[in-house]
Amino acid sequence: MCSILLFASKLTRGRVRLPVFCNYRQYSDEKSPIKTPLYELHKKYGGKLVNFAGFLLPVQYVDTSVSASHLFTRQNASIFDVSHMLQTNVSGKDCLPWFESICPVDLKGLANGSSSLTVFLNDNGGIIDDLIVTKVNEQQLYIVSNAGRLEVDKQHMLETSELFKKRGNDVNVSFWDVNDRALLALQGPKAAKLLQTLTDFSLDDLVFMTSREGRVANVGCRVTRCGYTGEDGVELSIPADKAIAVAEALMESSDVKLAGLGARDSLRLEAGLCLYGNDIDETVTPVEANLTWLIAKRRRQESNFPGANIIMKQIKEGVLKRRVGIRLESGPPARKDAILKDPINNKEIGKVTSGCPTPSLGGSIAMGYVSEAFKKVGTNLLVNIRGKDVPCSVAKMPFVPSKYYIKK
């Protein structure tokens, strides 16, 4: 959901330098980065820490390359520290209509305890941020959004909720500080089996995109079956002072390891998932981003979400550009802003927004935006890498099949 892919990191003047395997960007040192509740755990296990979105987070760990960590997650289970994400709690009898006034999600039609990916939209239909909202009940929401948009999201939610309250509505927005609440993502095919040994409820009924409160390693937390890797897994919202204890309880199994931002980014790209600031931003609509499915059926009928006129026109009449997957069988990966060309006339038809080597498949993958006429899977293109035009093709996403837990 926010840009670090790398096979290795080097220390430069006391800082970790992000080399080739990287979509995440480091942030400036204008103010000291915040330590997450897992900071001491990262130091203990040799985490190579960088300033990401104002937080000290591991790119990788000294004993494991990014590619090895990536493959371990696909085969076993990994713990990712995602405590930098903004966790928001909303309450009040009018919290559902308020949230629907800033997002195209159908909360009224969502069952209690269910979660949904959605987007904050501006009046032009541009994406302010992507996020996951959980409908705890009719008067309570739990939201997780991107760290890179933390201040923007806070301001957006506070300003819109205050306007809503001035009209006589009941809605209250509060944010968990990272010093009070941690967020861990346990991802991989063995995640659920391992977690089950530490929980006080059955995970069989906790299907993909559902959420509940429970105990993990005797610690009360919120468990949401979701993630950013394409694998089965959960996100655990935990009291900050208990986060290390829960992580180390999970790590008692040899099938669980810590993983960093590097593996998280390569995993999400293989899963075809967007990175805010690279693949989506305020200049891009959900239709252009190939996320039209986020506009719920009822919301389309009512057309009462921000930018509805523009988005509904795009759904009906089409757009000039579209986000697609891109496959390179060999050679160096295509990076952000690499030019995509029509191989027939060599004219520019788009740009890459994210790209990296793919540990699971070999070769490289990317995503980017192309003119509508070139969006079909299998279309041959050229991508300019280091001044050389390299053959590539439009590919189906996700690049690696998703393995979310859907109960049969």
Which residues touch 218 (CB under 8 Å, ≥6 apart)?
none
Helices 261-270, 66-75: axis angle to 10 degrees equals 60
**């523009």: which residue's tokens?**
310
- Tokens linked to 238: 């935990």
The Cα 195–Cα 237 span in angstroms is 14
Q: Is 100 labelled a binding residue?
A: no
* Whole-number Cα distances in Å, 401 to 68, 188, 231, 272, 361: 19, 13, 9, 10, 11
Q: How far apart are the first and last CA of the chain?
A: 28
Query: Does residue 348 sit in helix, strand or coil?
Result: strand
- Contact present, 235 and 82 (Cβ < 8 Å): yes
**E-only strand ranges, 244-376:** 256-259, 321-328, 339-341, 348-357, 364-371
Six-digit token string for 118? 């959605």
φ and ψ at residue 288, rounded to 5 degrees: -65, -35
Instruction: Please tell me whether the peptide bond between 398 and the residue prior to it is cis, using omega within 30 degrees of 0.
Output: yes
405, 232 contact by CB (below 8 A)? yes
Tokens 């609440």 sit on residue: 181
How does 103-133 read in b/e, with b if 16+ C-beta sit within 10 Å? bbbbbeebeebbbbbbbbbeeebbbbbbbbb
Return phi, psi of residue 121, to 5°: -120, 145
Separation in Å, CA 167 to CA 90, 100, 382: 17, 16, 54
Sheet holding 34-35, edge to edge: 34-35, 55-61, 47-52
**Which segments are annotated as binding site for substrate?**
235
Binding residues: 235
